[in-house]
Every structure is written in structure tokens, then in C-alpha cells.
Structure 1
């Protein structure tokens, strides 16, 4: 089955991304991806550069962003496709979240060191371009600190450990995600507000990797559909077969836009390759839906 669509990847404009927008386009071209979208966290800065580069390679480029939001206390990621990225509201959103994340970074450092470490701020500054410290950065700093070579807490993330497939992001999920020991709260817009922003700017609101954010409570997705979610990323690198089938069935049942995305970041998620979306249907079906939603 041909794999030529990847609608979820991150550039350096995401705190945990590695490559420039142009480099991502070049990588997509090498991977024979012909329909792509860079969906940076709460940012639209990659769009103009990526769109220009994609045109040179004959790649269909779809405007996108990935907005952090909340629904009844659950942190979510919602993808906005086909947005008018020139609206200042997207920059305002990014600046507001950046301000909060800078404050949270200091708190994350304190909480991390309470786990039995003595990381210095300079170790994180060497990894961060803007002063924001992500859970993945803490993982990278700790795993490369010779003082903690044999630290028991880090063993699962080292080679052959049970969490070593994507050690940095797994460390994030285990210690910095909602409800974990080093979690710090950022006030994100609500799901309703996020859908409104996306729709008012000509976009389609799609729930990203629901298997991650709705783990153990998939039934909540039905409520989100009623709240206005228009699509679902049924095909994600994070989803096992049962999860894929659950959200594919839901998407078809409710006539939602069904998308596929690798969530490629580069070094942060080394086990994920571009185009690796676990899609089990002919991607021409997804292409047809994208045209139906006027995203191509």
C-alpha cells in the first residue's frame, strides 16, 4: 500500500522539534511524501517557508498548527488544518503560552531535582533556544550526564530498557505529562475556544493522537464530537491496532475527516520516521477527504 501522506510533523518552531521547515520538506521529498503538513505546537511560523519549499518539490502543503487545549480537565492537542495563519490571534496564542512555559520551566527544574538529581540551569539552556525546558530536554540532559550513568530511575530509558524506543519522549510522558511528578500547569484555551479559533480562520479542527490523550476514557470522544470536533487522527505512530480501529470506526460513523500523522520530531522521537503513521486504509481515501474539505 502506498504511503504518501503525513499531516503531523514538527519543525524547530516547536520547542521539541529539530529541523527547519525547509529541511522537513526535503526529508518528505526523499521519503516520497507528496501531501504534508507541519503542525507546530501553538505556532504557525513554519508555514510560509515550508509552503515555498514544498512548491519547489511539487508537494501539496497544507497549513496547520497543533493547539494545546483542555476539555473537562483533560489536556488535549487539536490540529487546525487549512487555517488562515496570517490572523494575529495565532501569534497572540503562541506568546501567551510561551510566557507561561518560561515560568513553568523554572518549576520543572526544581521538581526534577527533587527526584534525586542536581541538574544545573546551564545544562538546560544548552538545549533550549528560547528558555523553555521541555520534559524531553530534561531526559536528554540527564541521560547524557555522566553522574547519572547508573541511576536506577534512568535505567528504563537506556539502551535495551523497556522505555528505550523513544527515551526522551517516554521520559516526558512518565514524569512531565498531566498527573505526573514533574507536571506544571499551563492555562490553555478550552476545546470549545480552540475549535472556534480554527473554524473562524477557515480551518478544520482535528483531534490529534487520541489514543494518547484519551487513554482509558475513549468514550469522552463522543462528547468532543458534539462539541464540534470535525476530524480525528485515527492513524498515529502511537496507536496500536485496537486504537486505530476504534477511532477509524468512530470517524466513519460520524462522517469525520480521518487523518494520518507520524508526529515526527527528529532526535526527540528517534524511533519515529516520516510517513510512519500506522495507516491501514488506502491513503487515496484520505486524499479524497482532504479534497472534500477543500484542504487540497
Structure 2
């Protein structure tokens, strides 16, 4: 049984479903001993749980997932053991949200005009989180609209389709992630700067789900490692068995920590559950020792 999940999202992520306290209860029920709420560009979920939790098991690792760039490529950087009360995180979140509110309008237009899906504006308004309409929420609205059921582009996301395991987040990856036609450019901080910030607070900087962003590009991975990261999320719900072995080897060659995270969100990734990703006993022991140093 896996006892570590260092990558979960709460309602304070623009695409999360559950309150921090609900995530804590789920982890406790699962027998998880170390957990982290790593919301997108926000420490509010992590901070709230740290403020209200009254038990020591599971241990809560202060965390965040930061959007940042390296070599012109967008990455997600996990920060562990950070100071969640540092005002720098409020600025990071506000900068991110102000851009995402504008980006949402562009994505709505693309979905209607280029993809050809239909949706009700009133439904879109109900699905907004923190004023943001995410690609996942757009897809949720489109899947609720019967007019789209026979649309050719909707078929992969419906039951039995090739993208039906996590249709909402898959819609994001297929149409709005970097390199896709519907991608909306966003100004993110430099990865190296975010690594330095995390280190200045005594924390650990870990590259999230590298298989999704690095895609086994050796030169790109080398550039990311050169920014001073402490670890890679080797054990991720996104990774195939082959990718796990690839990033395990690369992490060990670079002397990096191998971390474990489900990237649980809730309804936007229905096939993912807390504690879903396991890691071998040896790596778990090393990871637990590293976590104890930052708690």
C-alpha cells in the first residue's frame, strides 16, 4: 500500500473539487502517512489545512505547484516545505488568476468557433472557479449539452472513447496545452527563479510529471536539471511503466530525489484517486527521510 501522496489539488486550484479538510479525510482513510496539497500557483489550500488539522497522521507537507518556463517550454514545479505565509505567494496567485480570467474568454471563443462545440453561457458562469473558466469546465459544459453528443470531435471523450478515462483534462491536453492550436500564451516566471525562491525558504523544488512536459527530450531535461531542482516526480499517474523507468534512471544519475504523486483533482480526473501512485520501498524510505527534514 502506498503511504505517500505529494501531489493533490483542492478547491483552491482553479480545477480542483474538494476542500482541504475533505482531502485530509480521504488520505487518512487510505492509510496515507505523508500528504501534500499542491494547488496551482496557490498556497491557500495547503495553508488552510495546516491551520485547521489537529492530528499528526497523516503529516501535511506545505506545498504548491507553480507554472513556470525553461527554454521556452512550460513546466509545473512542485515546492515542498515552503513558507506558505510568505506574501510572495499572494502575488504569484493574483498574477496567474488575472491572466487566466482573460484566457478563459479566448478559450470559449475557440471552442465555439474552431472546434464547433455548443454550450450555454449560464452553465459556464456556474462552473467558474475564482472567476476563471478552465478548459476542463468548458468541456464539462459541452458534455452536458445534448447538441454535442453526435459531434465527431466529441466521440473520443464519450464512454468507450479513446479519451474517455479523464475526458475533461484530456480536452485541455488535446486542444489548449502548449503546442496545441488553442493554446493561449501566458507569462509565467522562470523555472530557475522559482527554484531559487523555494530554496530560499528551505524547501525542495521538484519537477512535476516530467513525462508530460519533457517527453524524454534529453537536452530539455538537462536544462531543467541545471536549474537546480532537487527531485523529479518519477511516480506519477501520467507516466507509463516505461516512463517511470526512464525518469527513475535519470533521477538517480543526477542524484535527485524520486517523488510520488497522484495529481488527484476530483471530477476533472475521475480515474485518479489519492494514493494511487506507489513507489518501491527503498525509494519510499529515502523520500520519507527527506520529508522529515523539511517538516
Question: Match of 2:109?
Answer: 110
Question: Match of 2:48?
Answer: 49
4+ residue runs over 4 A deviation: none
Does structure 2 conserve the Cα–Cα contact (< 8 Å) formed by 1:209 and 1:239? yes
The CA distance in 2 between the partners of 1:98 and 1:275, in whole Å, is 29
- Mind listing any 5+ residue stretches in structure 2 that lack a counterpart? none
* 1:171 Cα deviation after fit: 0.8
Does structure 1 conserve the Cα–Cα contact (< 8 Å) formed by 2:2 and 2:278? no
* 1:280 Cα deviation after fit: 4.0
SS at match of 1:56: coil
Query: What TM-score results when the alignment is normalised by the length of structure 2?
Result: 0.95
The CA distance in 2 between the partners of 1:67 and 1:287, in whole Å, is 23
* 1:194 Cα deviation after fit: 1.2
The residue correspondences of 1:22-171 to structure 2 (distance < 5 A) are 22-56=21-55, 58-114=57-113, 115-171=115-171
* 1:11 Cα deviation after fit: 0.1
Does structure 2 conserve the Cα–Cα contact (< 8 Å) formed by 1:5 and 1:33? yes
Q: Which moved more, 1:194-203 or 1:139-148?
A: 194-203
* 1:53 Cα deviation after fit: 4.8
Does structure 1 conserve the Cα–Cα contact (< 8 Å) formed by 2:15 and 2:129? no
Question: Match of 2:245?
Answer: 245
SS at match of 2:22: helix
* 1:148 Cα deviation after fit: 0.8
Does structure 2 conserve the Cα–Cα contact (< 8 Å) formed by 1:108 and 1:184? yes
Question: Match of 1:11?
Answer: 10
The CA distance in 1 between the partners of 2:278 and 2:161, in whole Å, is 24
SS at match of 1:126: helix
CA deviation string 1:251-278 (max 9, x = no partner): 1222212110000001110000110114
The CA distance in 1 between the partners of 2:286 and 2:197, in whole Å, is 27
The CA distance in 2 between the partners of 1:197 and 1:62, in whole Å, is 17
* 1:284 Cα deviation after fit: 2.5
Matched, 1:286 2:282: no
* 1:289 Cα deviation after fit: 3.1
Q: Please give the root-mean-square deviation of Cα atoms over the aligned residues, in Å.
A: 1.5
Cα separation, partners in 2 of 1:274 and 1:29, compared to 1, 3 Å: same
CA deviation string 1:81-136 (max 9, x = no partner): 00011111110010011111111111111111111134343221111132211111
- Mind listing any 5+ residue stretches in structure 1 that lack a counterpart? none
Q: Which moved more, 1:243-252 or 1:70-79?
A: 243-252
Query: What TM-score results when the alignment is normalised by the length of structure 1?
Result: 0.95
SS at match of 2:234: strand
The CA distance in 2 between the partners of 1:278 and 1:212, in whole Å, is 18
* 1:40 Cα deviation after fit: 0.2
SS at match of 1:97: helix
Q: Which moved more, 1:3-12 or 1:219-228?
A: 219-228
Q: Paired residues, what number?
A: 293
Question: Match of 2:262?
Answer: 262
Does structure 2 conserve the Cα–Cα contact (< 8 Å) formed by 1:7 and 1:262? yes
Cα separation, partners in 2 of 1:17 and 1:276, compared to 1, 3 Å: same
SS at match of 1:78: strand
Question: Match of 2:235?
Answer: 235
Does structure 2 conserve the Cα–Cα contact (< 8 Å) formed by 1:13 and 1:45? yes
The CA distance in 2 between the partners of 1:12 and 1:218, in whole Å, is 35
